[in-house]
Amino acid sequence: MRSPGVARGARADWSALAVAAILLGGLGLYALVYIVARSHMPIDADGQGYYAYLPAYLVDHDLTFNTVIRQHILPTYAAAHLPAQQFGFSLQPTGAWLDKYGVGVAVLLLPFFLAGHGLALALGLHADGYTRIETLVSGAAAVVYVALGLWCLRAVLRRWFSSGVTAIVLVLFTLGTGVVNYFAWAPAFSHDFTVFAVSAMLLTALRWYERPSSWWRAALLGLAMGAVVAIRLTNVVLLAAVPLLLMGGPAAVRVRAALIARHAAQAGVAVTCALLCLLPQVATWYVATGHLITRPYPGESFDFAHPRLLESLVWLQPHGLLPYYPVMALAIAGLCVAWVRRRDLALPVTLTLLLFWYVSSSWWDWSFSDGFGDRAYIDVVPLAALPAALLLQSLGNRVVRRGVVAAGGVLAVVTCVLLLAYWQRALPQDGIDAAGYLHVLTHPQQLLHAPRG
């Protein structure tokens, strides 16, 4: 399955160095932001809902969330008069609060939370889950999971693409999307954790298809699939990439169906493990509502008859995809190349992205409210990286390739400038008009001071 042009010689593996640099640089940036520039906790906004499971369940032993809401969330935002509903909580007839945010992020945060909680206890602090040391350690999880996700994605890309191309794509899609914002500024949001889960899902799917008789590989695939859904329920559509992976036509469909039929027991293990990952979520719903299945987003819905497809791609205000993450254009161009050269990559990526685009654009708040860019699309960065890498690898002319890489670098710089403006509050949270957008990009020197917040 590995391209014959990909060598693993004695030369430096730039893709591995890229992941290491992103990890170290990310931790440094996170420390700079939250130890030097910002004074409040890294657990904020939607992150309050994702994080609250840990102090509520493990420290307060209060499955109703009443203690967390009364002692921490409401007092923290008392000056702004923000209700608990602002952070995803809705009071149920049972007297408990339903947390609309998936429990998957809290599960991934668990080892970091325990480390921070233990450190707070050792320092003699009132370790209630919300001390600065506890939240700082927990927030660092985002960059670690991004690095783990990129390591998985690197293993996927290196099957077909060179170390240099893989390194370039990993760097461009880290700096050129909202990935940096959601490990350095808002680290308890779900998106960077989804990057990890989707990357792990792609890698474990490839490895299981290579050895479908392996029970362990099937189990790992199921755990990765379950994690994708447990982190963000609507991302169930991304599971479509698994059965479609490396299928380019009807013949491949028949081969894949035959493979799954021959190894139905292992496929069953994968499905079982995926479902087991959802049990904690079902348990939280039952505690809050008395029902195993509930609607976690009351008052919020999809309008599948009127998806905002164009707006979600190109709008400036509210924020769409391409103006804020323009490096994604490399993925779109790469898909055009893939349909000519690698339909086994083009088909799964295209169909999964189309499904994700349609579902995301049908959400009542299609721009996903305040944030940096249309943050929902961070979740498909691992899929978008595949056609982008194919585009770069297919450019045989060295001058042309360098030109495309340079253009990609410029697009990533655009995102970095916009992100700095967002941190400086020169870029409103719901996007910016065309005049403001151009002003930010043409006057980046005005942003060279400490981030606000």
pLDDT of 8 > 70? The answer is: no
What's the CA angle centered on 145, arms 139 and 148, to 5 degrees? 155
Q: Please report, to the nearest 10 degrees, the dihedral formed by the alpha carbons of residues 263, 266, 270, 275 taken in order.
A: 110
Interval 322-344: pLDDT, tens = 999 999 999 999 999 999 999 99
pLDDT of 445 > 90? The answer is: no
Q: Looking up tokens 């923000």, which residue turns up?
A: 82
pLDDT of 414 > 70? The answer is: yes
pLDDT at res. 6: 46
pLDDT at res. 453: 64
Is the omega angle on the peptide bond into residue 93 within 30 degrees of 0, that is, cis? no
Q: Among 106, 104, 89, which Cα is nearest to 298's?
A: 89
Q: Looking up tokens 């697009």, which residue turns up?
A: 411
Answer whether 222's CB lies under 8 Å from 269's CB.
yes
Q: Which amino acid is at 419?
A: L
Q: Looking up tokens 């906790």, which residue turns up?
A: 41
The C-alpha atoms of residue 308 and residue 311 are separated, in whole angstroms, by: 5
The enclosing H or E element of 75 equals helix 74-76
DSSP result, 121-181? HHTT---SS-SHHHHHHHHTHHHHHHHHHHHHHHHHHTTTS-HHHHHHHHHHHHHTSTTTH
The enclosing H or E element of 97 equals strand 97-99
pLDDT at res. 4: 44
How is residue 224 written in tokens?
A: 């990765």
No. of helices (H) and no. of strands (E), the chain: 22, 2
The C-alpha atoms of residue 216 and residue 311 are separated, in whole angstroms, by: 43
| Domain residue ranges of the chain, discontinuous segments joined by + | 14-29+140-447, 41-139
| pTM for this entry | 0.95
The C-alpha atoms of residue 194 and residue 450 are separated, in whole angstroms, by: 29
CA 95 vs CA 43, 62, 289, 378: distances in Å: 25, 12, 9, 36
Grade residue 452 by pLDDT with cuts at 50, 70 and 90. low
Check residues 299 and 288 and name the one with the higher pLDDT.
288
How do strand 89-91 and strand 97-99 relate by DSSP bridges? antiparallel
Taking the alpha carbons of 206, 207, 211, 213 in that order, is the dihedral positive or negative? negative
Interval 346-392: pLDDT, tens = 999 999 999 999 999 999 999 998 889 999 999 999 999 999 999 99
Mean pLDDT (the chain) is: 93
How is residue 10 written in tokens?
A: 């004695």
Interval 124-137: pLDDT, tens = 999 999 999 999 99
SS3 363: strand
pLDDT at res. 331: 98
Grade residue 450 by pLDDT with cuts at 50, 70 and 90. low
Grade residue 448 by pLDDT with cuts at 50, 70 and 90. confident
Interval 194-225: pLDDT, tens = 999 999 999 999 999 999 999 999 999 999 99
pLDDT at res. 408: 97
The C-alpha atoms of residue 427 and residue 432 are separated, in whole angstroms, by: 6
Report which DSSP code applies to 7: -
Q: Among 323, 142, 124, 359, which Cα is nearest to 238's?
A: 359
Q: Which amino acid is at 143?
A: V
pLDDT at res. 5: 45
The C-alpha atoms of residue 274 and residue 240 are separated, in whole angstroms, by: 14
pLDDT at res. 1: 43
Task: Give the total residue count for the chain.
Answer: 453
SS3 91: strand
pLDDT of 36 > 90? The answer is: no
Report the pLDDT averaged over residues 98-109: 97
How is residue 383 written in tokens?
A: 């899929």
How is residue 265 written in tokens?
A: 């027991």
pLDDT at res. 227: 98
The C-alpha atoms of residue 265 and residue 218 are separated, in whole angstroms, by: 9
Grade residue 37 by pLDDT with cuts at 50, 70 and 90. confident
Grade residue 433 by pLDDT with cuts at 50, 70 and 90. very high
Report which DSSP code applies to 293: S
CA atoms within 13 A on the CB side of 389: 32
The C-alpha atoms of residue 119 and residue 113 are separated, in whole angstroms, by: 10
DSSP result, 325-372? -TTHHHHHHHHHHHHHH-HHHHHHHHHHHHHHHHHHHHBTTTT-SSSS
